[in-house]
Amino acid sequence: MTLVLDAVRAPRARAVALVAGLAGALAVRLGVAGDAGVRSVRAGAVFAVLLLAVVVLADRAEALRPGPWRRQVALGGLGALMLCVVPLVVHLTTDGGALPARDFPLWALVVTGVAVTEEMLLRGVLWTALDRWAGEWVALGVTTVAFGLLHVPLYGWSVLVLDLVVGLLLGGVRMVSGGWGGPAVAHTLADLAGWWLR
């Protein structure tokens, strides 16, 4: 019994539980989405709620502590600019049409929810648990790989390299900003910019 409790108390147990929670939430998202796949707003909303529940269960204090807000906003904005430079170039070389404006508010709300809860989990509570357990580089590596793999069931293996790189960049923002607020700002702004830069 003591061994079990010791194992449960360890930061690595929290990390494992968080990764399992992320994988489970992703499976539920895929199940809810069905044929609509990644375009299902309802599935995205369910995913965000599940992630939030896992994060709050894991570490409510960390979830409510995104870091010093000026630094998070400034460095998050810088991260968003870095993420948007490349899509801007792609956008200028392709002929995209306008998306229906009536769909934007709900889409933006759910996109923001998904981006923020992903960052609360990955670069927030999971990062902190991994940092305490094995150090910052392990935290960077695991959260980057988790971020890359998270997108594979939605888009296929072809996105893995790109999302690993994006995960690395968001991890870099986490390191320089000292909190999960910076990556959340960068991730959210880049996702929202995608409406115009796709």
Partner 1 sequence: MTAVLTGGAFRSRRRGWVVLVAALLALGATVAVRPPHAPPLYDGIGFPDEPYRWVTPPPGESKAAAAATPARATIQVTPGSSGAVSQASRGFSSEQGPQVAFSVAEGAFVAPAKTTSIDLVATPKAAPKAYGDGGTIVSNLYEFSALADGKDGAEVPLAPGAAFIVNLRAVRQTDQTVVLCTWDGTAWNQVVTRQVGTEIYAAQLSTLDPIALVRLDQGVRATVAAPEPTADAAAPAGDPASDPASGTSNRTLLLTVGGIVVLLAGALLVLRRRTGDE
Q: Residues 82 to 121: which contact partner 1 by CB under 8 A?
A: 82-83, 86-87, 89-90, 94-100, 103, 107, 110-115, 118
In whole angstroms, what is the distance from residue 13 CA to residue 16 CA? 5
Site map (CB under 8 A) of partner 1, residues 8-47, x = contact: xxx--xx-xxx-xx-xxxxxxxxxx-xxxxxxxx--x---
DSSP 98: P
In whole angstroms, what is the distance from residue 186 CA to residue 16 CA? 26
Residue 124 in the binding site for partner 1 (CB under 8 A): no
Residue 158 in the binding site for partner 1 (CB under 8 A): yes
Considering the complex, what minimum distance in angstroms separates the CB of residue 115 from partner 1? 5
Considering the complex, what minimum distance in angstroms separates the CB of residue 96 from partner 1? 7
Considering the complex, what minimum distance in angstroms separates the CB of residue 156 from partner 1? 6
φ/ψ bin of 96: left (φ > 0), alpha (ψ from -120 to 50), beta (otherwise) = beta
Among 172, 179, 181, 183, binds partner 1 (CB under 8 A): 172
Among 124, 128, 174, 183, binds partner 1 (CB under 8 A): 174
Q: Which one-letter amino acid corresponds to residue 69? A: W
Residue pair 56/117 in contact by the 8 Å Cβ criterion? no
Distances in whole angstroms, Cα of residue 22 to Cα of each of 49, 57, 80, 87: 11, 13, 24, 27
- For residue 21 the two structure tokens come to 């929670």
By rule CB under 8 A, what count of residues binds partner 1?
A: 87
30 versus 74: smaller Cβ distance to partner 1: 30
Considering the complex, what minimum distance in angstroms separates the CB of residue 122 from partner 1? 13
Q: Which residues of 154-166 are buried (b: 16+ CB within 10 A; e: fewer)?
A: beeeeeeeebbeb
Distances in whole angstroms, Cα of residue 170 to Cα of each of 80, 103, 195: 9, 28, 20
Considering the complex, what minimum distance in angstroms separates the CB of residue 105 from partner 1? 12
Considering the complex, what minimum distance in angstroms separates the CB of residue 146 from partner 1? 14
Straight-line distance from the first to the last Cα atom of the chain, in angstroms, rounded to the nearest whole number: 53
Residue 79 in the binding site for partner 1 (CB under 8 A): yes
Among 3, 92, 105, 156, binds partner 1 (CB under 8 A): 156
